[in-house]
Structure formats: C-alpha cells, structure tokens
Chains A and B, each alone.
Chain A
C-alpha cells in the first residue's frame, strides 16, 4: 500500500507537470470590467473618413479613406510591480464603430498605474496556420502571397501621389527579426486606476493618426505613395510605436 501511495504521489507530480495553466493560480476577480475605447484623431480632431482634408508635416494635402489595425497583448501594470496580461487580438476598424471598443471581463481587482498595448501579431500566430475570430484571413488583413498579417492599413488620397486615382496605400506588417513591425506603446496613468469588484473602468485611448505619417519619419506622398510589402514598412512601424495616449479614465458602478 505504501508503494502504491508512493507511485500515486509520483504520478500526481508527473500529472501536474503535464497539465499546464490549470495548476497555476491567477486571482481573477468576479464582476470587474475594463473597457478600452479607441478614439481616432488627426491633429487632435476626430478622424473623418473621405471628406476631411488634412495636411502632412511637409505641407501636402490628404484625405483618409481607410484606417484599421490589430492590437493585442494588453498589459495592465499595478502599483506592486505585478501585471495582468490579456493575450487576445482585436481588429480595430474606423469604419466599424463596435470594433473601437473592447471589453475585458473579470480582471483582477487592483490599483493599476499604467498599461501597455501592442500593434501587431506575434510571430507564432503568423506561422501557425489558419484561425477564426479576429485573425480570420477574411478580414483583408492577411497577405496571401507572402504569409503574414497586415498589422495596420492606412489608405487615402493626396494630390501629391503619382499613383492612379492619386491614392496612397500603407499596408504595414512583418514579424521576422529583420523586418519586425510589432510595436508596443507603454502608458502611465496620471492617477492610479482603481479597479474594484462590481466596477467598470473605461480607458479612453486616443490614436493619433497624424503621428503615423509624421513622427519620427515624415512620409512624403510624392516619394512613397505605397508601402504594401515589408520594404519600408519599418519606417511606419516606428511611427506607430507611440501612437496611443491615455485621454481619460472613467468609472461606473462605484
């Protein structure tokens, strides 16, 4: 019997080893909600597709017709140095109002001092075959001839473009070491965000589309009207690295 017990104890240990995740404890809190809302702006004004006319840093006029991007790997940092990580991907699309607000449930209650958010898709998810949901290739954010997700699409028109119909087209992606366009923005909250049970915290993030064209790499429409493969993509990835700012934290249900 003792032998049996020993054997059982051993196999139990082996079992724990082979059951990942289950054994680890993550202190989820019931009834907490974190909502992240994305507000797309151009020079501090709300982005208006098609009709609004803007000027880039080199003084060229332009309009925007399409703006969509993948975000993921949302990390909330709390005051004691630990963090909560949300691994899912979301496709944020200016044309789809619903997509601009994402809701995370049952996040550990804590005082969060900041967050980070990533534009792009991890290399594993670029190479592991077809998926459904946000990563479904049906969303037009996948290169069919050169496997990989398009992380960000920014399209529009400018009189300075030499292309037919004077369009510009920036399709940015790339997950390999030499072509990595995955970029993370780290943000600090002015005051800690206090998430408690039965609370809903809304984080309003501003996505400054003008930055993607101007900082630090100023895009000249007459020189570079299109980026549709991995060449030059990093120019724009460096521009979207710090594209987000925290506009406001809102609480409900306290």
Chain B
C-alpha cells in the first residue's frame, strides 16, 4: 500500500507538471495583482516565456530600477531610459540617431520597446539572439553606455540599495551577471502593447471611421506583406528601398551574417505606436509619416524588382496616404504609453 501511495504522489506530480506547462502559455499570475503576463488573445505564442526566469515583483522592480539608472554607463550619464522614453513607446522622439555617453552618436534610430517576447532576435540587424543577452549590447557599445559587465557588477555590489534589492529578488547575497540580465529581461518582457483602438476594433469593442477603415484596407493590401498584423512586423529582414547612408556606413543585417544577400536589409519594425516614435526608419531620416509614405510610393522599379514586399506597395494617392496615416494612428496604445508600472516616477511596486 505504501508503494501505492508513492505512486499516487508521483503521478499527481506528473499530471500537475503537464497542467502547469499548458497553463503557463496563456497566463502567468504574479504575486501582485498589479503585474501579470497576459498573452493577448490575437497574438501568437511568444518566443520568450520566462522559462528559467520566473516572473516576480521583486525582479521586475529591480529590472526597472536598472533600466532607469545611469549607473549602467561608464560615466553615470546615460541610462537605458535616456533613449527609451515610456511615453514614446520607449523610443526617442526627435532624435534620428541614439545618443550615448559624451554625446556620441550611434548609427541607428532608437527602436521602440514593446512586445519584445515575440521577437526571435533583436536590434535592427537582428544581432541579439535572446532577450536576456539584449542589455549587453547597449551596455558595452562605445557609442551608447560604454561600460563593461565586470565594472557594472562592482558598482552594483557596493551599492546598499541594490544589495537589498538583489537579495529580495534572488534570495541570495550574491550579485552576478545572470541576475542582473534576467531582472532587466523581466521588465523588458512585460512591456506589452495590445490595447490600441485597432485592437479594440479587432475585438469588436470599437468601430472605425470611414477613413480609418479605408486606411486599414489599403494598409493590408500595400504594407502588410512586411508589417503583418497582429504584431505589425513579419520579424524578418527586408530592404527598405533607402539609399545607403554614407554618414553611418551601415550594412544592416550583413553586419551579422556577412552574407551578400543581407546587405542593407533591416529588421522590419513593428508599427504599433508608430505615430509617437518620430523620426522614422533605421537611421531616422524621415520626420513625418507623409514623407515615409512618399518614399514607399515612389520607389523606382529597379529597387522593387525581385522584392515582393516593396512590389506589393504600388502607387499611393494623396487621399490614400491620408487614410493610411489615419489608420496608423489607431495603432497608438495610450494605456501602454501612460502605464505607471513602467515609468520611473511611479513608486516601486509594492506587494498587495
């Protein structure tokens, strides 16, 4: 009978394991009701599901503090948030190129940070293969934070506030790279935007105006080959038809792969919250959405040939442009842009 009991216990454990595995995909509840991972119903399964990095409020708060802290840069001048502003979907409005320590300019426009767990790789060139490795790139880039991991850990280890926060997040007196990068990943991973007027339209909670509806139809025909809903990116690297910029010498995806066919290709950016992230394109060369559409409407056939994404655009009339822009504005998620859980001023979240 004893053996029977053991068997029951083990089998119950196994059944629970299986259940937990299927639950976790849809819903991860946090210790606090203020913070939970909800996978929007229209979205596919994320690439990052916080395996080996379970979500907790303590880790989230630590990750958020690190995100906003210029201690990450070599001269304590620049934090992640210096270029990633929450009200601009964590992009950098008004700045074509990102600006790091010593006002040094990078070669690319600051991308927005949202729905990152649905990306199989990150950055304009896709060089980062995992969200937990992502913070290392701006941290060590000479034109961004210009710091190294070893030095950052020294600074964190002698800071009493961090000592306490790492201890409560990881129940350990050690502070190491894994903890640092994983807690930032918790913060980044929970930046989810899926509450725009477009989403409400899809969920039949809101109707579109005539212009918005016409803009959506045009968008689907002309733009969705690359900017595919619901994430408004197909997560691949594409030619954007722009001439090579001599000031940035940026070969795009080829910088990572070295492959001839990858020259000047860039990761298709999501268009969620696009109307608050000016200027646009990988090098921020366009200041208005009109000029972005002008560019795509006017591509010479020598550029579009052999490129199904660019070919599908075709001519865009002025009325079309207006309506497409009306539609793009419906992708703005004000709940996300104003979410106090993600802003610095908000007092660190406390457990209920």
SS of B interface (majority): helix
CA of A254 to CA of B130, assembled, Å: 49
CB neighbours (8 Å) of B136 from chain A are 137, 142, 144
Asked if A128 lies at the interface with its beta carbon under 8 angstroms from chain B, I say: yes
Q: Are B10 and A129 in contact (CB under 8 A)?
A: no
CB B35 to nearest CB in A, in angstroms, measures 21
Asked if A248 lies at the interface with its beta carbon under 8 angstroms from chain B, I say: no
CB neighbours (8 Å) of A140 from chain B are 150
Q: Are B133 and A130 in contact (CB under 8 A)?
A: yes
- A31-50: contact bitstring with B at CB < 8 Å (1 yes, 0 no)? 00000000000000000000
CB neighbours (8 Å) of A145 from chain B are 127-128, 137, 140-141
Q: Are B8 and A129 in contact (CB under 8 A)?
A: no
Considering only residues 1-15 of chain B, those with a C-beta below 8 Å from chain A are: 4, 7-8, 10-11, 13-15
CA of A85 to CA of B13, assembled, Å: 30
CA of A132 to CA of B177, assembled, Å: 7
Binds B, one of A13-21, A182-190, A197-205: A13-21
CB neighbours (8 Å) of B7 from chain A are 8, 11-12, 15
Q: Are A132 and B130 in contact (CB under 8 A)?
A: no
Asked if B39 lies at the interface with its beta carbon under 8 angstroms from chain A, I say: no
CA of A8 to CA of B15, assembled, Å: 13
Asked if A98 lies at the interface with its beta carbon under 8 angstroms from chain B, I say: no
CA of A111 to CA of B9, assembled, Å: 41
Considering only residues 107-135 of chain A, those with a C-beta below 8 Å from chain B are: 126-132
Closest to B11 in A: A11
The contact size tier of chain B is 35 or more
Asked if B76 lies at the interface with its beta carbon under 8 angstroms from chain A, I say: no
Q: Are A132 and B176 in contact (CB under 8 A)?
A: yes
Q: Are A19 and B133 in contact (CB under 8 A)?
A: no
Q: Are B177 and A144 in contact (CB under 8 A)?
A: no
CA of A18 to CA of B13, assembled, Å: 10
Asked if A147 lies at the interface with its beta carbon under 8 angstroms from chain B, I say: yes
Asked if A148 lies at the interface with its beta carbon under 8 angstroms from chain B, I say: yes
CA of A138 to CA of B139, assembled, Å: 12
CB neighbours (8 Å) of A8 from chain B are 4, 7-8, 11
CB B85 to nearest CB in A, in angstroms, measures 23
CB neighbours (8 Å) of A129 from chain B are 52-53, 130-133, 182, 185
Asked if B258 lies at the interface with its beta carbon under 8 angstroms from chain A, I say: yes
With A130-B178, A138-B153 already in contact, the answer to whether A15 and B129 are too (CB < 8 A) is no
Asked if A95 lies at the interface with its beta carbon under 8 angstroms from chain B, I say: no
CB A23 to nearest CB in B, in angstroms, measures 11
Q: Are B128 and A147 in contact (CB under 8 A)?
A: yes
Closest to B123 in A: A145
Q: Are A147 and B130 in contact (CB under 8 A)?
A: yes
Asked if A136 lies at the interface with its beta carbon under 8 angstroms from chain B, I say: yes
With A137-B149, A147-B128 already in contact, the answer to whether A130 and B14 are too (CB < 8 A) is no
Asked if B18 lies at the interface with its beta carbon under 8 angstroms from chain A, I say: yes
Q: Are B10 and A127 in contact (CB under 8 A)?
A: no
Asked if B181 lies at the interface with its beta carbon under 8 angstroms from chain A, I say: yes
Asked if A194 lies at the interface with its beta carbon under 8 angstroms from chain B, I say: no
Considering only residues 126-159 of chain B, those with a C-beta below 8 Å from chain A are: 127-133, 136-137, 139-141, 149-150, 153
Asked if B17 lies at the interface with its beta carbon under 8 angstroms from chain A, I say: yes
CA of A147 to CA of B17, assembled, Å: 32
CA of A130 to CA of B150, assembled, Å: 15
**Interface positions of A (Cβ within 8 A of B):** 8, 11-12, 14-15, 18-19, 126-132, 136-138, 140, 142, 144-148, 229-231
**Interface positions of B (Cβ within 8 A of A):** 4, 7-8, 10-11, 13-15, 17-18, 52-53, 127-133, 136-137, 139-141, 149-150, 153, 176-178, 181-182, 185, 255-256, 258
Shortest Cβ-Cβ A-B pairs, 4 listed: A11-B11, A129-B132, A144-B136, A147-B129
A-B pairs with beta carbons under 8 Å apart, 6 shown: A12-B7, A14-B11, A129-B185, A140-B150, A144-B136, A144-B140
